[in-house]
Structure formats: C-alpha cells, structure tokens
Amino acid sequence: MITRVNLHPASCKYLKLGHPWITEDTYTKRFPKNDFFLVGVDEKNRQEIALLINDPEHKNVKARLWSLNSEDWKKDCDFKSELQIRLKNSLQRRVKSNTVNERENFYLVNGESDFLPGLLVLKLKNQILIQYYALFWKKVESELLEVLTYEYKLVFPDTTLEDIWIQERNFNQAKSIRSISGKSISEFKLKEYGINYQIKINEHYDFGIYTDMSAIRKLMRPYLEKSKSLLNLYSYTGAFSLFSLKLGATNVVSVDLSAKYLHWLDDNIALNPDLQADLHSTLCMPSDKALEKLFLEKVKFEAIICDPPSASSDGNTTSSALKAYEKLLPLMLNVLSQNGSLFVFLNTHTISWNKFEEKLNQIIEMSEFKNQMIVGKRFKLNDDCLPLKGFHEGDYLKGFLIEFKNKGNS
Ligand SMILES: C[S@@+](CC[C@H](N)C(=O)[O-])C[C@H]1O[C@@H](n2cnc3c(N)ncnc32)[C@H](O)[C@@H]1O
C-alpha cells in the first residue's frame, strides 16, 4: 500500500493544471523519508489526486508527478514496466523525427515533457549521457540502465553503444560524472548539421556543445544564411560561429572570457576542412569590452548573437543576464548594421517571456535607438527539447530577434 500524504492546496491546484513539481513547504516537511512512491491527497476535498515520486534529498523539489490516473495507485505501481513504456515512447518520438539524420547530438529523453521527471538523456554520437536533475533516479539506476540499454538497441540497431555516462546536475558545483565502463574521460568528434565538433566528456562541467540550442540554431538558419558577418558574444566553443561560417559568412568574430573555450573553438574549426579559419577571429575579453572596442573600430555586423549565462561575471563583478542587457543592448545596436539581425537570449526560467520582452523594449526606449527597433520573433526550445505545456521551469531558454524598423529601406 502506497503511503498517502496531504498536499498544500496550492500544490493540488497546480498539479491539476499540469504542473509536475511539489516544492518544499510545511506539508512536504511531513513526507516520509524512505518511501519511493507517495499518493498526494487534496485534504480539503478528501480526494487522492496524484501518484508522486518522493525526493527527500532534493533541496527544493520534494516530489515529482508520476501519474494523475487513479488506476496507477489503486494497485501497487509497477515502476519498471511503466518506465519501459515511457522510455520506449520517448526514444521512438526521436527516431521518427528528422533530427536523427541532421545531428549526432540530441535528447533521447527531455524530463517532464517525456513524463520522465527530472531525467535528461542525451545521445552523443555512440555514447549516452544521463543527467539526473532529481535524486530519486539514483535509487532506480539499475532498472533505468537495463531498460534504457534494451530500448536503445531496439531503436538504433545499427549503432554500437560505446558507453553510458551519468551526471548529477545542479546539486553542487562539482562535475559529479561517472561512466559505467569505468573510463575517466572521453574525447571524440560528432556532427551537428554537417559540422564537426570536439566533445570532451568529464573534462569540464559541460561537454562542448549546447544541445538544447541545436534546434534553435536550425530556426536561425534563414537569418544566418543571409548574413555575411556575425558577432558571436559568449561564444563558448563556437557552435554558432561554425554554423555561420558553414552558411557562407565571410567575417565571424567570437567573443568569450575563457581562453580555454576559444582554443577549443579554434580546434573545432580545424576539424572542418571546408571552413576557412582566416574568416574567423576571436576576442578573449568580457562582451561589453569587446563591443566598445568594435564600436571604436567602426565595425558593423549583419548578425549578432548574445547568449549569456544566467549570471555572468567579467572577472570582477557578477550580474544577472537581464541586468547586463542594460549595458549590452545599446552597445550591440551600435555595431548592428541597418539590415542586421540581433538575437538576444536569456537562460533562466525565473524571468518570463513578457518580462524579458518588456525589459528589452524599456532599454531601447531609454537609448538613442528609441522608436527605431522592433523586438520581434521568439526563439523557443523545440523539437527534441520541447518543454511541457504549463511547466514554466522547463521553458528556460528564451530568445528574441531585434531588428531596425526601417530594415530594407536603407
Ligand atoms: C551559455 S554559454 C554560451 C553557449 C553558446 N551560445 C552556444 O550555443 O554554444 C556562456 C559562455 O559565456 C562565457 N562568458 C561568461 N561571462 C562572460 C563575459 N562577461 N563575457 C564574455 N563571455 C563570458 C562563458 O565562458 C561561456 O563560454
């Protein structure tokens, strides 16, 4: 018999609306520590409303939704069979989409939107990277590995599965990553949209390419195809820079604070004989300083991409990305050509689309570009990384296209 627990009225309301998390409150403090499943009860209506997976070790998400179907908790829930069904659906969704033909990096499982809460699974060429955002997955790790390996081999019968890596994310600053073969690191190349990238698993917290951005890169293709020059701010290992070079840009400048990532970017270019390294240059400095320098040099770009981390540091001060736009946005507009496209991103669920848009408009209105710009098209997570409707925490990556109103009249 699964233990019943009363839920906060707000949790009941949000669960019914499709939100899959129970965050810490006075009710979760009374949850038992050792049970895997719990049935959440709406105290006021004396109604059992959800089957939850208990996560006492997690700092703030104390339980996650497993099912809203009462049949699933009337009997003892067979976790392994249900896991198998959900994993199978999740993997089959990917193989049916064209993504598998376009890139060797994609999400096989995207957490809540695949009804596998707190679990991300990436395919990186012939390796799998499992990321736990909920700690209860550690308790069912052997079942997960068994079912995942089985389903993977069914869905990708012609590829070998070289290794599986497991990483616990967001729980502390450590990398916390291990491989089931016992290997300590892995370096290999993979292709995204026909471009080679160097992957390094377990050398840094991240492995060299942001796969949640991959589907967004594809949406940006029509704009980048038209742009002969690109300024890639917060470039990391240069996925956007290489993409733009591949699409025919003749002047690409990548800016990052980290010399290590810029070297990695150069190595990535060298992995692609069809890309011309002399059309690319790097600036190893804070983005605002790079913008000031480029403005003084009177350089203009047809495309600018700005994808800062949610909290960024220039080495001295730390500021939130939203606040950083107060300084960055006018500087970027200074170096954007009249026909240009500026893409600005925010990497946090804590700021809504409307708040981000409002802030961008406010900054523009206070600047010398007042009444000249349009904050337009939105670039959202999609494809293999589509967020669940009603789950705003999953909708963490937000991008806007900003253009001159009189674009094309000049
Ligand atoms: C979210 S990643 C960018 C990912 C990249 N757009 C992509 O899709 O591959 C953020 C990068 O910003 C860099 N960074 C952090 N603070 C910076 C700053 N003030 N100026 C320039 N780069 C910075 C980090 O070194 C890191 O490489």
pLDDT tens string for the chain (410 positions)? 899 999 999 999 999 988 999 999 999 999 999 999 999 999 999 999 999 999 999 999 999 999 999 999 988 789 999 999 999 999 999 999 999 999 999 999 999 999 999 999 999 999 999 999 999 999 999 999 999 999 999 999 998 999 999 999 876 666 689 999 999 999 999 999 999 999 999 998 899 999 999 999 999 999 999 999 999 999 999 999 999 999 999 999 999 999 999 999 999 999 999 999 999 999 999 999 999 999 999 999 999 999 999 876 665 565 699 999 999 999 999 999 999 999 999 999 999 999 999 999 999 999 999 999 999 999 999 999 999 988 999 999 999 999 999 886 54
Q: Tell whether ligand 1 has an atom less than 6 A from the beta carbon of residue 312.
A: yes
Beta-strand pair 21-23/373-380: unpaired
Superfamily of structural domain 211-404:
Vaccinia Virus protein VP39 (3.40.50.150)
At 174 the pLDDT is: 67
* Closest atom, ligand 1, to C-alpha of 209: 9
Atom number, ligand 1, closest to the C-alpha of residue 217: 8
State how far the alpha carbon of 191 is from the alpha carbons of 3, 105, 195, in Å. Answer: 48, 7, 5
**d(CA 184, ligand 1 centre) in Å:** 26
- CB 384 within 8 Å of CB 215: yes
Q: Please give the pLDDT value at position 93.
A: 96
Phi, psi dihedrals of residue 405, rounded to the nearest 5°: -60, -40
Range(s) of the chain covered by CATH 3.40.50.150:
211-404
Q: Which atom of ligand 1 is nearest to the CA of 236?
A: 27
Indicate the pairing of strand 373-380 with strand 397-404: antiparallel
CA of 405 to the centre of ligand 1 (A): 29
What's the burial of 103, exposed, middle or buried (CB within 10 Å: 0-12/13-18/19+)? Answer: buried
The hierarchical CATH code for the domain 4-74 is: 2.30.130.10
**Which of 120, 151, 137, 146 minimizes the C-alpha distance to 57?**
137
- 58: nearest Cα among 174, 171, 191, 192: 171
C-alpha closest to that of 68 among 25, 15, 113 = 15
Whether pTM > 0.85 for this model: the answer is yes
Atom of ligand 1 nearest to the CA of 347: 1
- DSSP, res 379: E
Decide: 258 in ligand 1 pocket, CB within 6 A: yes
* Residue among 77, 70, 80 nearest 40 (CA): 70
The whole-angstrom separation of Cα 90 and Cα 143 is: 16
The CATH fold assigned to 79-201 is Transcription Regulator spoIIAA (3.30.750)
Instruction: For residue 224, give Cα distances in angstroms to 124, 221, 243, 305, 338.
Output: 25, 5, 8, 10, 15
Between helix 239-246 and helix 214-226 the angle, nearest 10°, is: 40
Within the chain, all domains assigned CATH 3.30.750.80 are found at 79-201
CA distances in angstroms from 322 to 6, 135, 136, 351, 369, listed in the order given:
38, 30, 33, 9, 19
Give the pLDDT confidence score for residue 313 in this predicted structure: 62
Strands (E), 29-181: 37-42, 47-54, 61-67, 105-110, 119-124, 127-132, 163-168, 177-179
Q: Are 323 and 312 in contact (CB under 8 A)?
A: no
Q: Is the CB of 367 under 6 A from ligand 1?
A: no
